[in-house]
Chains A and B, each alone.
Chain A
Amino acid sequence: MVEAPAMDQLSILEERLKTVTRVMTSKAPIAQTPKELVWTLNKAKLFRYVPVVPQKDRHRIPLLLIFALMNRPHILDLRPGHSFVEYLVGQGFDVYLLDWGVPGLEDKHLKFDDYTLEYMPRVVRKIKAVSGVEEVSMLGWCIGAILTTIYASLRPDDGLRNLILLTAPLDFSNREKLTFGRWTDERYFDVDKVLATFGNMPAEMIDYGAKALKPVENYIGNYLKLWDNLDNPKIVESWHAMNTWVTDNIPVAGGAFRQLIVDLYRHDRLMKGELMIRGERVDLSRMRANLLTVIAEGDHITPACQSESIVTKISSQDKQIYRVPGGHIGIMAGNAAHKRTWPHIEQWLAPRSK
């Protein structure tokens, strides 16, 4: 006969297994902040978050958020109470989000050229029309930071007043520190062969690449963290939301992926001033927007050396580097984000949005 304490242990174990099964096999409700669709083109959608502050108390200049191409932008609005978007809307910003969508095979030719000169100027125009303001602020994260930097350099007179770059991979000169650079070296990685086979860069391969940078943390430590904290509903729900986002990867359009590897990782053309976008040379010295670049000190995807040198290349008078302890995603979605990164961005942006 099984004794009572042993029965207790079994029921605890059963509960734990139920929780693990639930969070591993279901999707958490994420991206819950109320928003409205204001513009679409192909797979891209522009959303405006419904303001919660009366218009007279809002900041005048609207803010456009642009995330990377290989993940959903929901990380910016993870869950109620832990959402950067919700925080900004609460602080009186008029917030817009550009969701690039999921590229299909028909989009395999999409390049940075299309994103920066076809989509972004149209988005900016739409925001100006909706907000009635001739200036905008932009926040670009990861590859989104590359796109916003290219746009800011190519179209400095389009009304871009403030630019915030989060973990921006812009400088590819220090090859020793770039693991991705080593993996995608032309001796080992045939980008054209990959794209000829798959069309777009498959989401699974990108996911593997990101996780393989820290294999123990991503493949083991992450699940042990869940197991150790199964009794703590707050941590479980936070883990569930993050896991929902992490496992929802999207492919990258073939043309854009090729540019990322060949033009940036292999030849560092953006920093050298040799990057050509639709026949126009991307000259960083043309950028005049106020700049805040946020660097994650523990970033293993975009090391600090990739985001620092931009400030020496641009013509902006108002430029600032802000270093935060944390990783590539953790600085914006981790537990300390709402105490450090979000308030700093808000305090930098608010006086520049009048």
Chain B
Amino acid sequence: MSEAEAGATKQPDPTEQFREMRDAYLAIWSKSLIETVNSESYAKASGAALNGLLAVAAPLKEPTEQMMLKMLQQLNMPTSADFAVLAGRFTNIELLLDNLDAKLDRIESLVTGSTSERQKTPSESASDGADVDRSNANSANAGVRAKAPRAARTTAQKKPIALRAGGTLKRTATVKPVRRNSRKGIR
């Protein structure tokens, strides 16, 4: 049987017809509701509903918080406010550490004498800085890796420069390399 004949004798699918009707109905409904939510009256109604919710929630909030505060104090346990203060202090410490990190980076770049001296990321440190094609990294390797210690970063190009107190740079005298002669021993 040819395709044309098959098409001619094909029975109409009642589910397909139902879907078409359903989608047409939803399209009309959607258009109408989009117009509704875009109207001023909807904005007014949703505002009123929110105010109603807040009118119920707000008066309950303070007494509940006070009650919880007293209960936790009786139990000698920290409150959410205590945790919030602690979190704020941690953030301040993080900011200070980040400032220090920035200063250290600046010093490091001055010491190495090159602004393009770059830090190594954990993955690069782990692979000794070689250019590695990571196309085989699979999902098992996905996720966060631990941060490498500062010592893992490259220092091979460092020039012999010392830091004075106060951060000013002082060039030290170049030390002659020690040569080893297999016949005469160390000179």
Contacts and interface: CB of A to CB of B under 8 A. Distances in A.
Interface string B63-95: 000000000000000001001110110110011
Contacts of A29: 139
A133 B119 CA distance: 11
Contacts of B134: 34, 50-52
Nearest to A36: B145
A228 interface: yes
A42 interface: yes
B116 interface: yes
Contacts of A3: none
B34 A214 contact: yes
Interface residues of A, number: 59
> SS class of chain A's interface: helix, strand, loop or mixed?
mixed
A185 interface: yes
Interface in B92-116: 94-95, 98, 102, 105, 115-116
Nearest to B58: A197
Given A179-B37, A197-B58, A134 B115 contact: yes
A125 interface: yes
A250 to B, nearest CB: 16
A39 to B, nearest CB: 8
Contacts of A54: 131, 133
B133 A104 contact: no
Nearest to B53: A197
Given A34-B134, A50-B123, A134-B115, A215 B37 contact: yes
A107 B90 CA distance: 12
A9 to B, nearest CB: 12
B47 interface: yes
B84 A132 contact: no
Given A38-B121, A55-B131, A188-B46, A212 B37 contact: yes
B144 A36 contact: yes
A7 interface: no
B26 interface: yes
A37 B118 contact: no
A239 B34 CA distance: 24
B142 A34 contact: yes
B54 A193 contact: yes
Given A33-B142, A130-B118, 12 more contacts: A37-B147, A42-B90, A118-B95, A182-B38, A182-B43, A183-B47, A185-B43, A187-B47, A197-B54, A216-B29, A216-B33, A217-B30
Interface of A: 29, 31-42, 47-48, 50-56, 80, 104-107, 118, 122, 125, 129-134, 179, 182-183, 185, 187-190, 193-194, 196-197, 212-217, 220-221, 224, 228, 300
17 contacts: A32-B142, A36-B144, A41-B94, A52-B135, A53-B133, A56-B131, A105-B80, A106-B85, A106-B88, A129-B118, A132-B117, A134-B115, A185-B43, A194-B54, A196-B58, A214-B34, A224-B26
